[in-house]
Structure 1
Amino acid sequence: MEKKIALSIAGSDSSAGAGIQADLKSFSYLGVYGITVVTCITAQNTRQVRAIYTVPADNIEDQIESLFDDFSITAVKTGMLYDESIIRVVAKNLKAYNIKPVVDPVMVATSGDSLTNHTFVASLKKELLPQALMVTANIPEACALTNMEIIQQKDGENACKKIYKLGPNYVLLKGGHLPDDMVTDLLYNGKQFYRFTLPRIPQKKAHGSGCTLSALITGLLALGETPVNAVEKAKHIVWGMIQEGYYPGKGSDVLNHSSAIQIPPLIRNNEQFLVWLQLKTAIDTLVSFLPSQYIPEVGMNFAYALPNAKTRNDVCAVDGRLIKNKERLTLCGIIEFGVSKHVASIILAAMSYDASMRSAVNIRYSQKTVDLCKQIGFTLGSFDRKNEPSDAASTMEWGTKYAIALLGRLPDAIYDTGSVGKEPMIRILGKNPEEVLFKLRKLINAPMP
């Protein structure tokens, strides 16, 4: 097995939320082999940085030389460099190896503690930025590099242009410090701006998000992505890691670098993103409460369509299944558009009668469940697979339309009793995932007849 190799030249975070620890986790997430040069050792936790110990410049040089003597390094990032002496030795050695790094100009920890001394900014601008492939600056860092205020998007564009003149090929300005519900990052290559926008995740400090983003960009570059694609993909991955982050200590939350997290698909349509997010939230909720007796042998799928959906590509669902694992519902797969056939066909058929009926989930059939649905006042439709015409394009499309026509209206649920090789099934319908969950909770909490 061969793996691409990415190098992080940065500080050590003893709490493991940021620094080289976050970088290594990010490289590992991408399947890239990560190596490190330690520039500083910090004594910190999720609440504060208590002490900073700089590594001597000759030791940093020894680390760099030892790695380049052994590894074929594909991409390099820098993080915490702290002062002029460290910046000089890093810049000198990377130039000797003809490496253009991704530079994360780390200045302040999430806790608010400074991670640089007074020589840092001037030295970074003079020594390292002229040979950088990309600079990944947040708003305060960009302000320090440009000596200007950044209050709105136009200010950000001007800051990018000003930083670009310092020498990097690309300037990424991260917009998280601007007070918008939608966070837009600007990438500038000297000719045009690229904008990457995702919703802000409230009540998150996201310790290590900057380190993780720059490490992901570096790892994706090592894998052959273009700088523009690397930034876009890295932003989406970081969003998922922040959204599923957690609190390991008593201070800031940290990112979740697990490969099991859900990453939003690369979509530039805000409406698509909101549909994906609503469905993901609903699936997370469903996994937390659905009893195992409602899980079919073939597993479940949960889907949600865009307004005015016309094809399966307009329907978001699980690319895989929700299955029973040790008596618990478990998500196996990613949430994506255009991946469902059966549940998507049900939704599209229902929408042909009522365009607001955009969500559905399948659950295990039993006569007791059907009787319980009737007891709690659900309207029920059904179809018999034996009546399916030989020229029907889709059983689920035909069955759904048949059940609706027979009932004369859209039901809360549609069931069939199966056939040879086909498991019987109940499908719960709703206008959105929240309504589907409401109906499921009502069903589960109802007393048995």
Structure 2
Amino acid sequence: MRVLTVAGSDSGGGAGIQADLKTMLALGTHGMSVLTAVTAQNSLGVQGAWELPPEAVRAQFRSVVDDIGVQAVKTGMLASRELVETVAELLADLDVPVVVDPVGVSKHGDPLLAVSALDAVRTRLLPNATVATPNLDEVEQLTGVRVTGERDLPAAAEAVLELGPRWALIKGGHLAGDAVDLLTDGTTEHWLRAPRHPNRHTHGTGCTLASATAAELAKGAAVPEAVAAAKEYVTGAIRAGFALGAGIGPVHHGWRTAR
């Protein structure tokens, strides 16, 4: 199974395309990448970010899709309005599942999406999504809906679905208590719960969940089953997360095979 990630590079290896490719390999798929930006990033934060030109993104995408082909796509950091519009245009011609992780800020609070790009995410990118996977900060950024507790997740999902994705996965990991996510297509709700592990090394969680979902969709799973399998995988990766550097370390993408 062939899965494509369209995202930025994390030089520290914990998030971005590095996390995506590790996840795809761990789940038995072949990962490929379209690089949108390069970051200077480590366990302490993002020290710099540089976008690639749209023509470089377009050329990478066509090179992979036209020759190798893809069975699912995951998008992550797109940085600017121009890149969001470029990627949305490319995705519109594909007939495969697309998982959109509307990355707005890093784990450390560093901005990874220009404010001027938000409207393009709403009107151009999200309508291409089979599944959108915003965290609570991204929900508020995109829709204005503020989530303070589990009871607010359905309203958040409804607001995201109005932007066009077929399914919304609202990640409640920032709430207190168990890690609770809500997946819905506006008709059926799937509540996914996992115990919260006392491990602060959670860098790359969002990238990992989205790319795991894309990998499972590429293997032919229906959306609810793909998301449930991805949730189980990322929960194990969080539990096994390890200290790397002086700040927040990454989740452990190889936890199932680690000795």
Aligned 1:110-189 pairs, distance under 5 A: 110-180=107-177, 182-189=178-185
Which has the larger displacement, 195-204 or 165-174?
195-204
1:60 aligns with 2:57: yes
Aligned 1:345-364 pairs, distance under 5 A: none
1:257 aligns with 2:224: no
1:123 Cα deviation after fit? 1.1
1:28 aligns with 2:21: no
Code of the residue aligned with 1:52 in structure 2: it is A
Q: What's the secondary structure of 1:137's corresponding residue? A: coil
Instruction: Verify the 8 A CA contact 1:139 1:173 in the aligned structure 2.
Output: yes
Q: What's the secondary structure of 1:160's corresponding residue? A: helix
1:83 aligns with 2:77: no
Equivalents in 1 of 2:164, 2:106: separation in Å? 26
Instruction: Verify the 8 A CA contact 2:10 2:17 in the aligned structure 1.
Output: yes
Code of the residue aligned with 1:28 in structure 2: it is L
**Counterpart among 220, 229, 232 of residue 233 in structure 1:** 229
Structure 1: which 5+ runs fail to align?
263-329, 331-449
Aligned 1:294-313 pairs, distance under 5 A: none
Deviations 1:331-367 (A, max 9, x none): xxxxxxxxxxxxxxxxxxxxxxxxxxxxxxxxxxxxx
Q: What's the secondary structure of 1:119's corresponding residue? A: helix
1:122 Cα deviation after fit? 1.2
What's 1:74 paired with?
71
Aligned 1:376-395 pairs, distance under 5 A: none
**Counterpart among 195, 200, 203 of residue 204 in structure 1:** 200
**Counterpart among 218, 229, 238 of residue 214 in structure 2:** 218
Structure 2: which 5+ runs fail to align?
none
Equivalents in 2 of 1:178, 1:22: separation in Å? 24
State the number of aligned residues. Answer: 259
What's 1:442 paired with?
none
Code of the residue aligned with 1:121 in structure 2: it is L
Q: What's the secondary structure of 1:38's corresponding residue? A: strand
Instruction: Verify the 8 A CA contact 2:132 2:168 in the aligned structure 1.
Output: yes
Code of the residue aligned with 1:258 in structure 2: it is G
Code of the residue aligned with 1:12 in structure 2: it is S
1:261 Cα deviation after fit? 5.0
The change in CA–CA distance for 1:234 and 1:195 in structure 2 (over 3 A counts) is: same
Instruction: Verify the 8 A CA contact 1:244 1:261 in the aligned structure 2.
Output: no
Which structure would you say has the larger RCO, counting Cα contacts within 8 Å and 6 or more residues apart?
2
Deviations 1:258-303 (A, max 9, x none): 15358xxxxxxxxxxxxxxxxxxxxxxxxxxxxxxxxxxxxxxxxx
What's 1:193 paired with?
189
Q: What's the secondary structure of 1:41's corresponding residue? A: strand
Q: What's the secondary structure of 2:134's corresponding residue? A: strand
Which has the larger displacement, 214-223 or 119-128?
119-128
Give the number of the structure whose alpha-carbon radius of gyration is greater. Answer: 1
Report the RMSD for the aligned CA atoms in angstroms: 1.3
Equivalents in 1 of 2:256, 2:159: separation in Å? 40
